[in-house]
Amino acid sequence: MEFQYIIVDPSFKKHIALVRLNRPKELNALNLQLMLELKSAFASLDEDDEVRCIIITGNEQAFAAGADIKQMENKNAIDLLKIDQFETWDQIRKTKKPIIAAVSGFALGGGCELAMTCDMIIASESAKFGQPEIKIGIMPGAGGTQRLTRAVGKALAMEMVLTGKFISAEEAQKAGLVNKVVPEEIYLDEAVKLANEVAMMSPISVRLAKESVLKAFESGLQEGLYFERKNFYMCFTSEDQKEGMSAFVEKRKPNFTGN
Ligand code: DAK
């Protein structure tokens, strides 16, 4: 897959794809073209049966410093409405495969929102998370007020959104925003480790389980429990369920095929 602002390797490791944001001079600011490229890459990786987990990363200095302010500066509301970037963000949100964000350096504004749209976050010790839109006269627009609040709670989310202050990787982990913080030299390796663990599981149960966890953010408990139950039953239509349980009984490792 050839793109201008991202680098995509569908077979980075066995069953693991890597998407790298690649506008280093602009700290990976998310311009419209980059977002369209991400949309296309995620759609295609989601269709690829060989891919069981996707890692998205930037570089040591920046995951992404937000949407491209220079591109937005002179837009008005109708321009934004016509561009309808939400469709692009929705494509990422709707990706069925699990996505891990490997974050180092700045994850700000749309960059923080992009990381939060992923399913898990591995951070390097240098990672800084923030929603600084308030400092440029706007507010978060790609889920920041909702996902950050659900992740870290009202008090910290309110402080970050209203003052634009950044939090460190360590604070982000304490607050529940990231899964793990590791030294900068190994943050991608650590993400691969986690991706590997997920990729070894049955892709069907992984898909249904991801869907079910996400449902917890969108529904009341009763509706979520019914949804989980249906997905649980569905697992029993897969060959992987038979394989997983036989392997346990036969005291061997399962070989999940995604059927
Ligand atoms: N946009 C454009 N360029 C950026 C940028 C950004 N967000 N962030 C950094 N850059 C550029 C800088 O302009 C500079 O370019 P040159 O001047 O060299 O040409 C280069 O990257 C290096 O940046 P600095 O020189 O500023 O580097 P420093 O180390 O001094 O500072 C910084 C790093 C990250 C603290 C600083 O660059 C900064 O504050 N950046 C802006 C952070 C920010 O405010 N982010 C939020 C942007 S608003 C939506 C979806 C999403 C969004 C909106 C709508 N829809 C679906 C409709 C999201 C909005 C946002 O994210």
Residue 195 among the catalytic residues: no
pLDDT tens for 166-195 read 999 999 999 999 999 999 999 999 999 999
The residue whose CB lies within 8 Å of the most ligand 1 atoms, and thus the one to mutate among 26, 135, 168, is 26
The residue whose CB lies within 8 Å of the most ligand 1 atoms, and thus the one to mutate among 27, 60, 63, 86, is 27
Domains and CATH numbers, the chain: 6-199 (3.90.226.10), 203-249 (1.10.12.10)
pLDDT tens for 8-32 read 999 999 999 999 999 999 999 999 9
Could you tell me the maximum CA-CA distance found in the chain, to the nearest angstrom? 65
Residue 1's pLDDT is what? 74
Residue 125 among the catalytic residues: no
Please determine, for residue 85, whether its predicted confidence score (pLDDT) is greater than 90: no
pLDDT tens for 130-139 read 999 999 999 9
Distance CA 100, CA 244 (A): 24
Arithmetic mean of pLDDT over the chain: 97
Query: How far is the centre of ligand 1, averaged over its atoms, from the C-alpha of 100 (Å)?
Result: 23
Please state the atom number of ligand 1 nearest to the C-alpha of residue 70: 2
Active-site pick, 66, 110, 130, 144: 110
Q: Look up the pTM and report it.
A: 0.97
**Strands of the chain, DSSP E:** 6-13, 16-21, 53-57, 62-64, 99-103, 106-108, 120-124, 128-130, 167-168, 180-182
pLDDT tens for 115-125 read 999 999 999 99
Residue 87's pLDDT is what? 87
Half-sphere exposure at residue 22, Cβ-oriented, CA atoms within 13 angstroms: 13
Structure letter (DSSP) for residue 62: E
Residue 47 among the catalytic residues: no
- Residue 36 CB–ligand 1 contact under 6 Å: no
Residue 222's pLDDT is what? 97
